[in-house]
Chains A and B, each alone.
Chain A
Amino acid sequence: MKNFIGRAKYYLIIAILFLGFIFTCAYFARVAVKTKLHEINQLAGEPNAEDPLNLIDRNENPKGFELLKEKAFLEAQIELSNSDSISMAIDLSDSTAVLQIKGVSIYTAKITNFTYSNLLNDISVPVYYKIFKEPLAIHEQFSTVAKEPIVIKIAPKDTIEAAKAEVIPDSVVNQSAVLKFFISEDILVVITNHEEEGSIFYQKLNWSYQFLKQLVEFKKVVYQPTIKLIIPNDDIVVIYRALPWKAKIAIKL
C-alpha cells in the first residue's frame, strides 16, 4: 500500500509537470496570436470617429461588411490590371482562383475547400479594408514542382545521333503539387491538392516541432496567419507556372 501511494505520487508529480508545460505552451501560443493581431490592427492607425468604415460592424451590419469585402477585392483587381504581369484573384466566397492579365480573366480554377486562420476573422473592419483593397505581393514562393521544367539536350554531332534522340514531353504535371506563397502582411498562402488526415497530423507535428524549437531557443514565438486552399493538381501547376516570381494577388475572404 505504501509502495503504491509512493508510486502514485511520483506519477502525479510528473503529470502535473507535463500539464504545466502544456499550459505554458498554450499561453505562449495565444500570446503570439494576440501580438500578431495587435500588429495587424495597428496598420489602420488610431481609430477615427469620422471614418464611415467604423459604422460597418461584422455582427451589426454583415451585409455592409460583405459589400466592403467585394469593394476591396474589386479595387485590388483594378490595381492589378494596371500591370503587364500575370496575377491571381482568389475569391473564397465564390471558391475560385482566377488568373488574370491586365484585368482579363484567362483561367479559372475551382477551390474545392479552404481554411484560414481565425486571426483574419478577428481583424478590425478598417484593417481588413486597408490590407485587402490592394494587391498583396508574393515575397517568396515554394513549390514541389519546377517553375520551368527545363530539359538540357546536347546538340547531336551528326544526323545519325540526331535520329536516335527521343522526345520526352514534360510529365511534371502528374506530380503532386504543393505551393506556398509568402505574401504581404506576413500571410502564408498554401495551395495543395489534397487534405489527408495523415498530412494534417504531420503538419501539426511539424508546427509543434517549430514551436518547441522557438521556446527552447528562447526566441519570440511568431504566429503566421495562413490561408489554405485545396485545388485540383493540374490547376495548381497551371497557377504556379503562370505566375511570375514577384507576382501579386488579390484576395477576398
Chain B
Amino acid sequence: MTAIKVRGLTKSYGEVRAVRGIDLDIQPGEVFAVLGPNGAGKSTTVEILEGHRRRDGGEVSVLGVDPGQATREWRSRIGIVTQNADDKPEATVRELVTHFAGYYPAPMDPDEVMDRVGLREKERSRVRALSGGQRRRLDVALGIVGRPQLLFLDEPTTGFDPAARRAFWELISGLSDGGTTILLTTHYLDEAEALADRVAVVARGQVVAQGDPHSLGGRTGGQATVSWRENGERRSVRTGIPSRTVIELAERFDGEVPELTVTRPTLEDVYLSLIEETP
C-alpha cells in the first residue's frame, strides 16, 4: 500500500486555480520533498493531505484514508510539525510533551522524545527561554510523540543558521531510519538533496518534475559543460559526451589541459529552469 496516493487533485480559490491536477505516489518509509516557489500550490496540496483543507476534485488517500473524512484514529497515525511552539511561552518543554502524549493511544515516553530531539537538558525550561532552533525541535517533538507512521514537515529549517540546519537534518534522517514516512516541503534545494529519496517540483499548480534529486530533470544524463583555458581565454563547450571531449583536449594539449572543469547542472539550475518554463 502506498502511504500517500493523489490523483488529479484540484483546488481553486475563487478565480485562482491554485492546484491544477496533481498526482503523487509516496511509498511507506520514503522521505519525499515537495519543492516549489511561493504560490505554486505546494501549501494548499499539503494542507489537503493533512485534512486541514477541502479539495475541489480528484482522489486522495493518506494511509488508506480520505483526509476529507479525517477521524481521530487516522489523526493518531499522522504527525504534523507546525512552526509555532512559541504559542505557550509559559509552559515547560516537559509539560507540553507530556500533555500532547496524552492525546494518543500509544505515545512514546516523553523522556525518549526529548532525548530524540535533543531537548532533554531543556526539559524544565519555559518555552519562551528556548532559542529558535530549540523551539523547532520542540515542534518536532510534539509532531512525533504519538509515533506517527507519516510525518508532515512544513519548511522546517527556515531561519536556521547552517550548524543548526545540519543538526536538524540529522534528526530527520534518524526519524526516517526508524521507518517513518516523511513528507517535507522546503525552499532549500540542498535540504531536499540531503534528506529526500525523491522530490517533486510543483509550479503553477502542477507537478513539473518528479524523481530522485540526483537525477531530477535529466541532471545525470544530458548535457555537461567542459571548460578550459586556451590562448589566454576561457573556453567551454556543452556536450553529451564530455569524456570524449576531455580525451580530445588532452591529445591536443599533449598532456595537462589548463584549468579543466567538467560540470553538470546543479539541482538549483534544474529547479530554476523547471519553474521558469512557460505553462
- The answer to whether A binds B is no
Chain A residues within 8 Å of B, Cβ to Cβ = none
Chain B residues within 8 Å of A, Cβ to Cβ = none
